[in-house]
Structure 1
Amino acid sequence: MTLAITHGYVVPVDGDPIEDATVLVADGKIVAVGRDVEIPESATVVDAAGGWVLPGFVEAHGHLGVYEEAEGWAGDDTNEMTDPNGARLRALDAINPADQGFADALSGGVTTAVIKPGSGNPIGGQTVAVKCWGRSVDEMLVKEPVSVKSALGENPKRVYGDQKKLPSTRQGVAAVIRDALMKAQDYKARKAAAEREDKPFDRDGTLEILVRVLDGELPWCQHTHRADDIATALRLAAEFGYRVIINHGTEGHLLADTLAERNVPVIIGPLFTSRSKVELRQRALRNPGILARAGVELAITTDHPVVPIHFLVHQATLAVKEGLDRDTALRSITVNPARIMGIDDRVGALRPGLDGDVVICGGDPLDVMSRALRVFVSGREVYSYVDGESVVADPYYRESR
């Protein structure tokens, strides 16, 4: 199938906007972007009518499908809080594509989400990137695993402290992480020795994943809010040599120069919440701008369902109101999260070779009165807003393409 979106104000994000331009998608991939694009006779033509044409937005940190809305305990598979080290756990195995959050994502122009285990454990498990439309997570898959989720601070301390077991303090949380990574170092050495000697070796799913972190294959997504916990995250990363990504980073602005100097990105948010715990005391919409001006690579997150995922773009808008550069704001929900999470070879911009995930907005997406009118995933229209009604294509009904 070939799709041509014509007469749009095309915003590639990683390039300059183009007036009255076309985005051509063939076999699910973008093949051309510009004014003088030759459109095949067989193409399905969609007239953007001067609307803004953008890449689908990317949510870098959410719990779609693993924390289902309005389902209570039956839909909550976010945290396996029975083992402080859950590196072998995979968010992939718990996602329900029928979660209403995926439809909400499309209505907000979000076409890709990195789904993560929760923050109840010092080491929570493996994250996965998926498209926000499909019958099964296997069909929706962009990349797996994307990273390993870890948590410092209040959450694991509370969860295991309530159980009267390690870790019940911040030093205990850091110790669990450090012990696990040292075991992974020893495991790697034993495995290498067994391979040299051609001896059998019992594999360990938890340690296999941690070795991939130590080897630089998988980044470490570190849930952390307070500045002292961010400092601990940086200390552990320096000690073991892995790539760390700060998730939430509520007080990251207090260490903005250090984060920029060490080239540590921050996925900041959610930004629309109350200060419901001590760690959120300094939550403010001005913080993304402070980080960005210091040179920190920035993505914005809703942490869905903490903030509904279709408000992702509105968080960016209000961050602009409080000092974030508007171009950086748009990048913080498109190309930046894609690059930070290692999926920029698939999504995050309108560029030949990337997936045909395209959003047509009625106007500037950073205008709170603008909205997604039509959304395409891999060149297929999956969402439209017509006559005041949102319509999501049924993924279980597969008409011929």
Structure 2
Amino acid sequence: MLLKNGHVFPVEGEDFFGDIRISKNVIADVGKDLEALPKEEIIDCTGLNIYPGMVEAHCHLGMEESSIRMEGNDVNEMSDPLTPQVRGIDGCYILDESVKNAREAGITCVAAGPGSANVVGGTFVCYKTNGKCIDDAIVQENIAMKAAFGENPKRVYQDSKIKTRMNIAALLRNLLFKTKEYMEKKENGKDVPFNMQFEAMIPVLKKEMPLKCHAHRSDDILTAIRIGKEFDLDLTLDHVTDGAIIVDKIKESGYPCIVGPAFTHKSKYELKAKSFKTPKVMKE
């Protein structure tokens, strides 16, 4: 198809009034006064804005289904605070209407995965919000390993395994230490029993996959940075609700941030500093 006479906002460069050609499901040409090819559908976009598809960098789209409760909720595997072996792709139902709603709102690509109940929750999958089969929609199957700091793991495991933020950090450190030991034994040719949790964490230690760190409050953000530096990890700081308060420390760390969601009320204490101003402060 050929989109004609639209106000085009490219990913890079200045916006302009012009045309976009789509061929075999990809953008084949962008410019002004493009001539239609034989059998090409022409869509007049006069008066309309044409934007790139929006990317959602942290969500659980397709993992918590619409109009259903426990049966369709596959966000958190709350059987253990450490579940690096689980994969978001195995809990993602791409035919749920929430995926359709996101696509029709212009969100064409998402990173979806486990929630923040566990200290380590499993891997995120990056997929396009179109199609009937998640395997066909994948951009990258295991794009990041989820970790969580602060109130959520404390609340979920308060009656069993976690009482303090100290133990959240200790559980993560212990998993990283054990994975490092397991990895080094394998690399040195030693015979070690297969461990699915350690296998899942090896790409994190090798910096082949970032640790995707849920952290709202400033102290939790700093703990994530501290552990990231201690083990020489790649990581992203996700939510960073208090990011503006310690922006100098975050900048010094060199770690990228994913801010939000902001379009909700302050549902808990950790969100008391939530503001639409935070993304601007972080970007600058």
Q: Common fold, TM-score beyond 0.5?
A: yes
Question: Taking structure 1 as the reference length, what is the TM-score of the superposition?
Answer: 0.68
Of residues 256, 260, 266, the one that matches 2:251 is 260
| Aligned residues: CA RMSD | 1.5
The letter of the residue matching 1:68 is E
Is the contact made by 1:58 and 1:113 (CA closer than 8 Å) also made in structure 2? yes
Of residues 7, 12, 15, the one that matches 2:13 is 15
Q: Among the aligned pairs, what percent are the same residue?
A: 36
The letter of the residue matching 2:254 is N
Of residues 36, 58, 61, the one that matches 2:58 is 61
The Cα shift of 1:201 comes to 5.2
The letter of the residue matching 2:274 is R
Equivalent residues in 2 for 1:205-244, closer than 5 Å:
205-244=196-235
Q: Which residue of 1 aligns with 2:4?
A: 6
Equivalent residues in 2 for 1:104-143, closer than 5 Å:
104-143=101-140
SS in 2 for 1:84: coil
Of residues 146, 164, 170, the one that matches 1:169 is 164
Q: Which residue of 1 aligns with 2:177?
A: 182
Of residues 248, 267, 272, the one that matches 2:263 is 272
State the number of aligned residues.
284
Partner deviation per Cα, 1:89-121 (whole Å, 9 max, x = no partner): 001001112222112102311111110201000
Q: Could you tell which deviates more after superposition, 266-275 or 225-234?
A: 266-275
The letter of the residue matching 2:203 is R
Q: Could you tell which deviates more after superposition, 182-191 or 26-35?
A: 26-35
Distance 1:281 1:183 in 2: 36
Q: Which residue of 2 aligns with 1:326?
A: none
The Cα shift of 1:261 comes to 2.7
The letter of the residue matching 1:9 is H
Distance 1:63 1:211 in 2: 24
The letter of the residue matching 1:91 is G
The Cα shift of 1:262 comes to 2.5
Distance 1:182 1:39 in 2: 60
Q: Could you tell which deviates more after superposition, 204-213 or 223-232?
A: 204-213
Gaps of 5+ in 1: 294-401
Distance 2:194 2:210 in 1: 22
Partner deviation per Cα, 1:336-360 (whole Å, 9 max, x = no partner): xxxxxxxxxxxxxxxxxxxxxxxxx
> Is 1:290 aligned to 2:281, yes or no?
yes
Q: Which residue of 2 aligns with 1:366?
A: none
Partner deviation per Cα, 1:29-57 (whole Å, 9 max, x = no partner): 22221115454223222221231111111
SS in 2 for 1:246: strand
Flag the 1:282–1:174 CA change in 2: closer, same or farther, 3 A: same
Equivalent residues in 2 for 1:16-55, closer than 5 Å:
16-19=14-17, 21-55=18-52
The Cα shift of 1:154 comes to 0.4
Partner deviation per Cα, 1:197-228 (whole Å, 9 max, x = no partner): xx765432221221111111101110010000
The letter of the residue matching 1:98 is L
The Cα shift of 1:260 comes to 2.0
Gaps of 5+ in 2: none
Structure 1 segments (4+ residues) deviating >3 Å:
36-39, 199-203
Distance 2:134 2:186 in 1: 32
Task: Report 1 or 2 for greater relative contact order, CA contacts < 8 Å, sequence distance ≥ 6.
Answer: 1
The Cα shift of 1:123 comes to 0.2
